[in-house]
Amino acid sequence: MINDKKVLYSGMQATGNLTLGNYLGALKNWLTLNEEYECFWGVMDLHSLTVRQVPSEFRKNARNLLILYIAAGLDPKKNCIYFQSHVSAHAELAWLLNCFTYVGELNRMTQYKEKAAKHADNVNAGLFTYPVLMAADILLYQADYVPVGKDQKQHLEITRDIAERFNAIYGDVFTIPEPYFGKGGTKIMSLQNPEQKMSKSDENVNGSIYLMDDPDTILRKCKRAVTDSGSEVCYREDKPGVSNLLEIYASCAGKSIEEAEKEFAGVGYGEFKTAVAEAVIAVLKPLQDECSRLQKEKDYIDALIKENDEKAAYFANKTLRKAKKKLGLTEVR
Active site residues: 115, 197, 200
Q: What residue type is assigned to position 6 of the chain? A: K
- Whole-angstrom CA distances from 236 to 183, 203, 242, 254, 266 are 18, 27, 8, 20, 16
Long-range contacts from 118-123, C-beta under 8 angstroms, 24+ separation: 118/201, 119/51, 122/51, 122/52
Q: Minimal distance in Å, beta carbon 110 to ligand TYM?
A: 13
Backbone angles phi, psi at 180, to 5 degrees: -130, 115
Pick 85 or 186: Cβ nearer ligand TYM: 186
Q: Minimal distance in Å, beta carbon 98 to ligand TYM?
A: 15
Pick 16 or 185: Cβ nearer ligand TYM: 185
Q: 48 and 9 in contact (C-beta within 8 Å)?
A: no
Q: Minimal distance in Å, beta carbon 235 to ligand TYM?
A: 16
Q: Minimal distance in Å, beta carbon 47 to ligand TYM?
A: 5
Cα–Cα distance between 253 and 34 in angstroms, integer?
Answer: 21
Q: Provide the binding-site residues for ligand TYM, judged by CB under 6 A.
A: 9-13, 21-22, 25-26, 44, 47, 134, 137-138, 146, 148-149, 151-152, 155, 185-188, 197-198
Q: Minimal distance in Å, beta carbon 278 to ligand TYM?
A: 21
Spell out where 51-188 has E strands: 80-83, 145-147, 178-180
| CA end-to-end distance (rounded Å), the chain | 29
Burial class (CB in 10 A: 0-12, 13-18, 19+), 146: buried
